[in-house]
Structure 1
Amino acid sequence: MTLKYIFKSKQKWFQMIRQSSGILLIVVVIGLVVNQIRSDRLPLVADWSPEARLTLESGESMVISIEEARELCSSQSATFLDARSSELYEHGHILCARNLPWNAVDEHFDTVMADIHQDALLIAYCDGENCAESKDLALELSYRGYENVRVLVDGWSLWVEQHLPVEKGPWQGES
């Protein structure tokens, strides 16, 4: 290889990198402009913690603490809804919980929610801090007209860690 060929090859690489960078810059600028024009624009910087993701447009948080949940369960002042699958529910769940699995919410909704008034306090939970099923269930319940819905983030794990009452088996209301 001659020095002239290597030098020409480097020039082509630099030209290709410069052109690719220019295209990337143009795409980023177009994306930012389109995002600003959209009515439902995406925030460029946001808090993605579970608490922030569970804040209603009104600014009210849907999150409930384990202490509040324990008190509400022991006083039977709230209905707990386990958003996990029926199999996980049967292996163990909060003592006063019903099973309304998010992956089959339409199928089970009428049976599970038949005797619950729309102004009743509902607490949805699943397992894991990043579990979205309880949030999705809570938002669905709000959409269906239930006004007092909360989420116990990492509910099952926290409940077990605190040695709070649990039970196994299917929900007694299931057929």
Structure 2
Amino acid sequence: MAKTTVSIIEISLIVLVAAALGVFWNRTLLADAWRGAPTRQAAPAQAGEQLPMPVGLAQVKEMLDAGQAVVVDARSAASFREEHIAGALPLPLEEAKKRTGKSPLLEKVGKDSVVIAYCNGFSCHDSMELAKLLIGSGYGSVYVFEGGLPEWRDAGYPLAKGER
């Protein structure tokens, strides 16, 4: 019985010390939250750099179905031919870099259009890089579908093969 009491006291002491350290470590964040101050966001990597916003699977599907967005595949041309989101335009990141964001496919897409870039999912950063290039080229509404082709495929949404 005495051993159980000692264990409970030790556990309680560890929890109290951990809670105190957590409060101390996050004191400014907690003080701001208590005052109702807005949260501070991390600054972009480079001053003045505009970053694309992430967009989820349901939003991509809804905008694509409604014809409100152009979906752009940042993967290689070979990957695009093998499988892509139905209705997507191919714009491999490497091609976009060579053309400094100008592509014959996107020349028909107005700069005021909503553009959603995607690639091979959360571990692939090509869509983010392509989206940054598009923003730098004057496209105002650029988003990144971080789940990319794997999330789209897993949801059972329409896919296509071959060239556009």
* Superposition TM-score, scaled by structure 1 size: 0.62
Which portions of structure 1, spanning 4 or more consecutive aligned residues, are displaced by more than 3 angstroms?
56-61, 106-109
Structure with higher Rg: it is: 1
Aligned with residue 158 of structure 1, among 145, 151, 158: 151
Query: Is the Cα–Cα contact under 8 Å of residues 131 and 154 in structure 1 kept in the other structure?
Result: no
Identity %: 27
Q: 1:170 to 1:122 in 2, by over 3 A?
A: same
Deviation string for 1:86-107 (max 9, x for gaps)?
A: 0000011011100000011135
SS at match of 2:144: strand
The runs of 5 or more residues in structure 1 that have no matched partner are 1-45
What is the deviation of 1:69? 0.3
CA–CA distance in structure 1, aligned partners of residues 160 and 137 of structure 2: 29
Q: Which structure exhibits the higher relative contact order, with contacts defined as CA atoms closer than 8 Å and separated by 6 or more residues? A: 2
CA contact (8 A) 2:81 2:161 kept: yes
Alignment of 1:107-118 (within 5 A): 107=99, 109-118=102-111
> Over aligned residues, Cα RMSD in angstroms?
2.8
Aligned counterparts of 1:163 and 1:53: Cα–Cα separation in 2: 35
Q: 1:140 aligns with which of 133, 138, 146?
A: 133
2:147 and 2:68 mapped to 1: Cα distance? 21
Consecutive unaligned residues in structure 2, runs of 5 or more: 1-40
User: Is 2:63 aligned against 1:72?
Assistant: yes
TM-score (norm 2): 0.66
